[in-house]
Structures are given as structure tokens and as C-alpha cells.
Copies of this chain bind each other. A is one copy, B any other.
């Protein structure tokens, strides 16, 4: 059971979570509970760090950020204990979550689950701090944004033999066809495949962390996204075969949802020579500095020169610009163009690639609203367009109407 920050934001909510966990225990399960930092604690700690220095040392930042979850686990531990149940809270390090040394965005290397098993055997409810682990030097590391999801799924993958099940409790009742804050008619999705969920997540739908879904897919962990504050059934994230069996459909394309990502900056390097190794040079330099690139578009060559465009998130803007200035000189490109006022809107669904009509419907729906498409990328299960950010709501509404009828 994983509870997000909004589920443990106040003492009252923590007591409510304690009751949910105890119910699960009474049903005969041995719950292992992962919690995030309360409410906006992580953001507040980051803000605090930036009052000390513009560039906080990553190791020290992890030392700081990990306190947020430590507060949650101890408070939840007290709450459960005060209701008469045996419980133990564990930091990432105590729970045996070993990571690499990439501070602020570490990857889980292995989980040594002996301690958790021992405590479960004693009949205790085990609470584990999400988002954190320990590197080979005994330093505290954190797993990046949404890392608590990853902690929960990785624990389910490690601790449970079969069927592996992870419940993600949040402040919404599941995954929606589109952000319900934007699209009033958005519908809850009952079941969704890992791949579709991955596309939804990587397109900015904030429900779950991508890396968590990747691990769930790899280890066949069924994830149920549900509400902490409602008994309604949530959204099951599972294998595609399961979805098909359940839906009774095989070849029909299904649009699962519409998502967006406001955190996009578009860069273009103009007039780079059309020769092998150019893209490798640009994206190699970016990778060296740990910049995650989202969409990449290379225009068809013209006069033996290309434009190469890509998008990144806002927080790496300065870094990217610096790298591109260097690369520009080395490659003899004519210029660098960027646009910070863009966003990405995507439609997601299985089998859409084999139905070319779907892309056309998307472009037509946007065109009808006079929305200009600046970049397009497609995958097996997703079509994404970069558009001006101020047009996002209009675009979302048009697309939801086109594919979901309202």
C-alpha cells in the first residue's frame, strides 16, 4: 500500500490512513506500507535549500529531502501503534533499499528484504519511507520525483511471490481519460496496460511515476490506483493481455486517454551539416550532462543542412543553452532557437499506429480550433503534438470531444 503526500498531509489524514492499513491487516494481509512526505514538504525543503545556495550539493540535498518521508513514516507508525497494532517504521536505508550513487535521481540496485521479512514474521505492520535509499558509501540517496511509487512497486516485486499487487492510494479515484481539472467530462479508466500508462505518465499525467510503471511491467506487478478517501474501485494497471481478455477486444484501436505536459521547452539547432554523427554529438553532449530529452525531430535535409529540434523540461533550460552554444560552434550551425511557451498534448491508446485515421482525426480536431502544431511525434501507442501553451485547454477540450464524445 502506497500513500502519496496529500494522503498524509495532516494528523487527521494520517489517522485515516492508519485505519485503512489496519483494515487491510484484519483482512488477513501482511501490509507493507510506503509513504511520501506530507503535503508540500519536499517542495518546501527544496525552497529552503535554495535560500542557502542556488546550487545545493546533491548529497546534502538528499540528506535534507529524505527527512520528509521520515516524518511521515514515524507519524503513521505512532498512529497505528496508538490503535493497538504492532508496527515498525523503516527509513530507506533500514529497509535495505540499495541504490546507485546518482544523488537526487538514484536508481534502485537491489532490495535486501531480510529485515522487512523478519518484522512481518513478528506480526508487525511495516512502514517504509518512500523516495529514498542508501548508496554503497552509506549516504542517503533519493529516487527523483514520484520516487515513492517506485519504492512501493519495487517492494511489491521483491516481497511478493504471486500475484504481485501494489495499491497506490492518492487524492483522485484513479486514472482518467484526461485531466478532470481541465476536462469536466473526463472518465475514470477501469483498466489500462503498462505501456499505455507509461505514455500517460510520461506525457505529464501526474498520477504515477514512469520508472515505477516500468518496474511493474518488468516484474508483472498489478498496480491499483485508488482514492485514500473513497471506497470506489480505482484503475487497474496490468499486462496488455489481461486488458484484452477483460475487454473482449483484440484488434480494435482503443483511445485510452488524453494527457498533457506543460513542462516543455522547445529548442532548435538550425542549419547543422547533414552528415553522420551530428545528432549523436548534440544528444551525446546533453546525455553527458544528464539532460533528459523528450521529443526529437530532425527535418529533412535541405542544401545538405538540417534543423534539429527537441524538447526538454524547464529546469534544465540554462544547462541546455550552454551546451548548445558550445555544440553550435563545433558543428558550425547557424543558430539556436528556443521557445519556452510551448506544451505537449498527447492521445494514448493501444493499436493506434495501425489505424492511421486516428492521427488525422487528432490533427483535424486541433486545426478546427485554429491550433498550430509545432512538432509531432508518434509511437505505437501515442501521438504527441507540441503547441503554444496558452492553447492547451482549448486543445484538450477539442480532443476529448473528438475521441470521447464530450
A138 in contact with B70 given A79-B52, A82-B52 (CB within 8 Å): no
Within 8 A of B (CB), among A58-103: 59-61, 63-64, 66-67, 70-71, 73-75, 77-79, 81-82, 87-89, 91, 94
Within 8 A of B (CB), among A11-33: 11, 14-15
B contact residues around A52 at 8 Å (CB): 11, 14-15, 75, 78-79, 82
B contact residues around A57 at 8 Å (CB): 77-78, 81-82, 87
Q: Distance in Å from the Cβ of A48 to the closest Cβ of chain B?
A: 7
Whether A250 sits at the interface, judged by CB under 8 Å, is: no
Tell me whether A60 and B74 are in contact (CB under 8 A): yes
A56 in contact with B70 given A11-B51, A51-B11, A94-B138 (CB within 8 Å): no
Q: Distance in Å from the Cβ of A77 to the closest Cβ of chain B?
A: 4
Residue from A56, A75, A89, A140 having most chain B Cβ neighbours under 10 A: A75
B contact residues around A246 at 8 Å (CB): none
Tell me the complex Cα distance, A140–B66, Å.
14
Whether A368 sits at the interface, judged by CB under 8 Å, is: no
Q: Distance in Å from the Cβ of A285 to the closest Cβ of chain B?
A: 26
Tell me the complex Cα distance, A57–B78, Å.
6
Whether A53 sits at the interface, judged by CB under 8 Å, is: yes
Whether A300 sits at the interface, judged by CB under 8 Å, is: no
Q: Closest B-chain residue to A63, C-beta based? A: B74
Tell me whether B60 and A64 are in contact (CB under 8 A): no
Tell me whether B61 and A74 are in contact (CB under 8 A): yes
Q: Closest B-chain residue to A67, C-beta based? A: B67
Q: Closest B-chain residue to A12, C-beta based? A: B51
Tell me the complex Cα distance, A180–B129, Å.
45
Q: Distance in Å from the Cβ of A167 to the closest Cβ of chain B?
A: 23
B contact residues around A77 at 8 Å (CB): 57, 59-60, 63
Q: Distance in Å from the Cβ of A117 to the closest Cβ of chain B?
A: 15
B contact residues around A91 at 8 Å (CB): 63, 140
Whether A55 sits at the interface, judged by CB under 8 Å, is: yes
B contact residues around A88 at 8 Å (CB): 59
Tell me whether A71 and B67 are in contact (CB under 8 A): yes
Q: Closest B-chain residue to A83, C-beta based? A: B53
Residue from A57, A59, A91 having most chain B Cβ neighbours under 10 A: A57
Q: Distance in Å from the Cβ of A124 to the closest Cβ of chain B?
A: 11
B contact residues around A75 at 8 Å (CB): 48-49, 52, 60, 64
Tell me whether B63 and A82 are in contact (CB under 8 A): no
Tell me whether B67 and A53 are in contact (CB under 8 A): no
Tell me the complex Cα distance, A15–B48, Å.
12
Tell me the complex Cα distance, A81–B49, Å.
12
Tell me the complex Cα distance, A77–B51, Å.
13
Q: Closest B-chain residue to A70, C-beta based? A: B67
Residue from A11, A63, A81 having most chain B Cβ neighbours under 10 A: A63
Q: List 18 A-B contacts (CB under 8 A).
A: A15-B52, A49-B75, A49-B78, A52-B75, A53-B81, A54-B82, A57-B77, A57-B82, A59-B77, A60-B77, A60-B78, A60-B87, A61-B78, A63-B77, A64-B71, A64-B74, A64-B75, A67-B70
Given contacts A55-B82, A60-B78, 13 further A-B contacts (CB under 8 A): A11-B52, A15-B52, A45-B71, A48-B75, A49-B75, A59-B88, A60-B75, A61-B78, A64-B70, A64-B71, A64-B74, A66-B70, A67-B70
A residues sitting closer than 8 Å to B (CB atoms) are 11, 14-15, 45, 48-49, 51-57, 59-61, 63-64, 66-67, 70-71, 73-75, 77-79, 81-82, 87-89, 91, 94, 115, 138-140
**Nearest 9 pairs of A and B residues by beta carbon:** A53-B82, A64-B74, A63-B74, A11-B51, A60-B77, A67-B67, A57-B81, A56-B78, A60-B74
